[in-house]
Structure 1
């Protein structure tokens, strides 16, 4: 039987294949070869592919040994058989004419192991696998009938949906439908995992804990490590981007922020880990900014009780609501650091004071550092000032997200003349008159000059 006849006898209508004369005479030999499980040969497949193509180009018959291995050379070798028409048609014709399990299973194994939607001649190979699945035996016959799994990317998306619907990850789903552990780690499985993340990214948010549970189940193994590390960044997007401009509840923000910072680090500090994830880090930094604001005020409320804190909290949260604060960082003394770890956990991130600097650090001292883009603000606790450094200022501007600071790092030098007017000229503001919004209005006007955004008193009025 010729190659063309083999294809024409298929129940499915299959496009005709070119008939390479060099391989026709080998089919009688190949048809008598034993069937069985397939595995990638432990030989130099580049050499096999090169020899195979060379023999066909000379009109010679490749050896039986090369025929047995050539399917593994379709995509991943140099040369790749899929890029040589005569060689590929001969390989596919072998699957069609032999009507044996082994060559089909070899081709199916290669398809799954090396799948990518842009593989050369993928449609041709997909068609052969779909058409001849009935002669392949289980699990291939049943899988092709139920999922049409060799028909390109569409069925993979549907399989991902099915797995998500069953609350199973890719590996568990593929094993449940009869595929081996080796397939669970294949490129086919990785692509299916990525398609699942796209589905999740487009799924509306219900509740943050439920979303996180779904992501954990889809992305993490029993050891809490990523099943497909290459998709780690898309995992972060699927978890975070559906929130968009929403501001989740405090507990939900902390839950998701904790999960992501554990794997990628704090985007305010470990910037290298967030390269290519600006969309996610922007959302997370907004949440972490609010977390730092809350951390500062919750802690100073305990270590330095003062009725004025409610005014400062309301004031800075009003600027945060306008998305003016790009970053926030807290610096604590020993007492504040101990309280922050007690309240927010041992992994809470903040800076601490060292012993250097002109201003000695007393109990209850803490500083809230805020980055407005056009300026940096350092707002001290109870007996300190609010300091502002405009961009281009000749004075050294504090850096955010450092582990330690001297008092000099986060305060402007006080002038000899400490009248309110002179202090304001040095961008230093006292905290007098909180109840009447005296200092708040002064600072708000200065920040409006620098940012161009006016925050109304009504937005930071305590009611």
Structure 2
């Protein structure tokens, strides 16, 4: 078959469709030559569309396609001539990089694509995908305030444009700048909120995150996907702990008593000792403070039975120790080895509470009976030192102020 013998309609169709079929690789140069030689505006448009839609940079005829697109764009007095020059569209590397920089600099990324002629169907094309991936690379390499600025732009970009198949690049770009430094809370909170809204909470919705981690590993960019996910999980745990104290503060009439507990547990939080946390409201506490939990963008559970309906419980992990801390005058409980199974059926019924449940039986959270090593204590004078000693014996973590032995 000689492509020059094809009808114009068939030639256009072949120009647009051959890039995804390996059987057509050998004829691609001849098809492009025929499309350029016919010198028809509709065929020129097909060449440009093939370049921008498929952007087949690994194809053996990519350079021929790029050169054909550059030639056909410039030989007519139409918008593609100016667009190509301004946005460097026909440059393999500079084109996507130019679009990427503009997307990250704009409050309206859709307007950038319209200006470059990359709206409509082309917005879902591979050239735009390459530009967005380049934007991810630029954001992921940034540091400090620049990382915050580009991270915010990248979040807006993914919120306003339909971007497919770049989830791994997005997570890598947003989280990598913070592996060795900590963002301030004004950025951490919206970043965490965006990622959990898009992929779910990694603490209890692991399937989506497992897929993203596998895709990040395939990128081979040197970052540890699990480390990035754990970093986000740690931020969410911290938000849960801080939200619990903020909320309980509004429901207790003993703020002086609560100040001491807040200071005690937040010291563990700030030292990195608390690895997981979840909290639950009694029925009346939820009515009083549930709105604040929504404002803090944190999820929570409910406590039913066996507890005062105005009380709340914080359930957390430090090392291999599960702890339930109660608001008001409730005692604190400590379960060692929370994942252990027990042959004794009585112990099985009072084993450590699981995290991230929707409902808890208050009777079990307030038990005074448990497996070997289980302890509970009231918040009488000197409780901080006693709690610190219990935690140190089981985990080796010393309290920053109260130590432990």
TM (normalized to structure 1)?
0.72
Please give the alpha-carbon distance, in whole angstroms, between the structure 2 residues aligned to 1:75 and 1:66. 15
Matched, 1:294 2:242: yes
CA distances 1:246-270 after superposition (whole Å, capped 9, x unpaired)? 4444454433333333333333232
Matched, 1:331 2:280: yes
Please give the alpha-carbon distance, in whole angstroms, between the structure 2 residues aligned to 1:414 and 1:179. 66
Contact 1:73 1:80 in 2 (8 A): no
Quote the residue 2:324 is aligned against. 378
CA distances 1:135-159 after superposition (whole Å, capped 9, x unpaired)? 2442333333333312323321122
**Equivalent residue in structure 2 for 1:215, among 150, 154, 177:** 154
**Equivalent residue in structure 1 for 2:11, among 58, 67, 75:** 67
Structure 1 position 404, deviation (Å): 0.6
Please give the alpha-carbon distance, in whole angstroms, between the structure 2 residues aligned to 1:166 and 1:366. 45
Quote the residue 1:186 is aligned against. 125
Contact 2:385 2:402 in 1 (8 A): no
Q: CA, structure 1 residues 219+180, in 2 after alignment: closer, same or farther (shift >3 Å)?
A: closer
Q: CA, structure 1 residues 378+317, in 2 after alignment: closer, same or farther (shift >3 Å)?
A: same
Please give the alpha-carbon distance, in whole angstroms, between the structure 2 residues aligned to 1:444 and 1:304. 24
Please give the alpha-carbon distance, in whole angstroms, between the structure 1 residues aligned to 2:389 and 2:56. 57
User: Which stretch has the larger CA shift, 133-142 or 107-116?
Assistant: 133-142
Indicate the RMSD between aligned Cα atoms, in angstroms.
3.2
Quote the residue 2:303 is aligned against. 353
Please give the alpha-carbon distance, in whole angstroms, between the structure 2 residues aligned to 1:159 and 1:149. 9
Give ranges in structure 2 of 5+ residues lacking alignment: 214-225
**Equivalent residue in structure 1 for 2:196, among 258, 261, 280:** 261
SS at match of 2:329: coil
Quote the residue 2:135 is aligned against. 196
Quote the residue 1:42 is aligned against. none
CA distances 1:169-189 after superposition (whole Å, capped 9, x unpaired)? 1x3213113455232232222
Contact 2:314 2:325 in 1 (8 A): yes
Quote the residue 1:319 is aligned against. 268
Structure 1 position 385, deviation (Å): 2.4
CA distances 1:21-58 after superposition (whole Å, capped 9, x unpaired)? x63xx74xx6xxxxxxxxxxxxxxxxxxxxxxxxxxxx
SS at match of 1:383: coil
Please give the alpha-carbon distance, in whole angstroms, between the structure 2 residues aligned to 1:281 and 1:145. 41
SS at match of 2:330: coil
Q: CA, structure 1 residues 142+255, in 2 after alignment: closer, same or farther (shift >3 Å)?
A: closer
**Higher Cα radius of gyration:** 1
* 1:58-207 to 2 correspondences below 5 Å: 66-77=10-21, 79-82=22-25, 84=26, 87-169=27-109, 171-179=110-118, 181-206=120-145
Structure 1 position 405, deviation (Å): 0.3
Q: CA, structure 1 residues 291+446, in 2 after alignment: closer, same or farther (shift >3 Å)?
A: same
Quote the residue 2:163 is aligned against. 228
Please give the alpha-carbon distance, in whole angstroms, between the structure 1 residues aligned to 2:141 and 2:148. 17
Q: CA, structure 1 residues 97+414, in 2 after alignment: closer, same or farther (shift >3 Å)?
A: closer
Give ranges in structure 1 of 5+ residues lacking alignment: 1-21, 31-61, 416-422
Contact 1:300 1:366 in 2 (8 A): yes
Please give the alpha-carbon distance, in whole angstroms, between the structure 1 residues aligned to 2:60 and 2:314. 57
Whichever structure has more helix as a proportion of its residues is 2
Please give the alpha-carbon distance, in whole angstroms, between the structure 2 residues aligned to 1:76 and 1:444. 64
SS at match of 1:75: helix
Structure 1 position 333, deviation (Å): 0.7
Please give the alpha-carbon distance, in whole angstroms, between the structure 2 residues aligned to 1:138 and 1:69. 22
SS at match of 1:308: helix
Quote the residue 1:457 is aligned against. 401
Please give the alpha-carbon distance, in whole angstroms, between the structure 1 residues aligned to 2:374 and 2:103. 62
Q: CA, structure 1 residues 186+411, in 2 after alignment: closer, same or farther (shift >3 Å)?
A: same
Contact 2:304 2:359 in 1 (8 A): yes
TM (normalized to structure 2)?
0.81
Contact 1:333 1:352 in 2 (8 A): yes
Please give the alpha-carbon distance, in whole angstroms, between the structure 1 residues aligned to 2:44 and 2:317. 62
Quote the residue 2:220 is aligned against. none
User: Which stretch has the larger CA shift, 108-117 or 298-307?
Assistant: 298-307
SS at match of 2:203: coil
**Equivalent residue in structure 2 for 1:362, among 286, 308, 312:** 308
